[in-house]
Structure formats: structure tokens, C-alpha cells
Amino acid sequence: MTAETLALYGGVVVSLLFGYVPGLSTWFSGLETIYKRLVMALVLLVVAIGVVGLACAGYGNVGVTCDQAGLEGVVRAFIAALIANQATYTLTKS
């Protein structure tokens, strides 16, 4: 499984959490549309930065190298996660 595939799944999971977890979904549904998109994007960005940080700090095997190629892979995965996240939320919530 590639990093992009995992990111796609992660984007879907984040979207479903914000859409259906009691309490979280209530808070999230009260936000304006632009803020909903920003919150989900920030969650995914924090995860992407965390993965790069763990890779560069040498903690665990996160499947990313701490070099330009690794960073480019994380950026591609982040974009894939954003696409999956926004598409899932659009399709599952009105």
C-alpha cells in the first residue's frame, strides 16, 4: 500500500469522523462552510507535518525518508488526502 493510498483512506476517515461522531459533528456542523474546509485541511496538515517530523527525528518507521523525495511524497499524499476528504464530506453530508 502506498502513502497516497493511506492518505486517501485517512482523508475519508477524517471526513466521516467530522460528519458522524456525536459532539464533534454537532460542533462541526455549526461552522460556516469555509471554516469546515479549513478545519479538515488543518487536521490533515498536522498529520502530514507530524509524519515528516517523526521521520526526521528518527522515531519509528513511518515510511517516509527525511529528504527531498520524502517531503515530495508527503506533499503528494497530503493533496490526495485533501481530495478524498472533501469529496467524501460533499458526498455524505448535505
Predicted structure pTM score: 0.78
Residue 68 lies in domain: 3-92
Number of domains in the chain: 1
Q: Each residue of 41-67: pLDDT tens digit?
A: 898 888 888 888 888 898 767 778 889
- Which is higher by pLDDT, 16 or 62? 16
The 10 Å Cβ neighbour count of residue 39 is 15
Rounded Cα–Cα distance for residues 26 and 31 (Å): 9
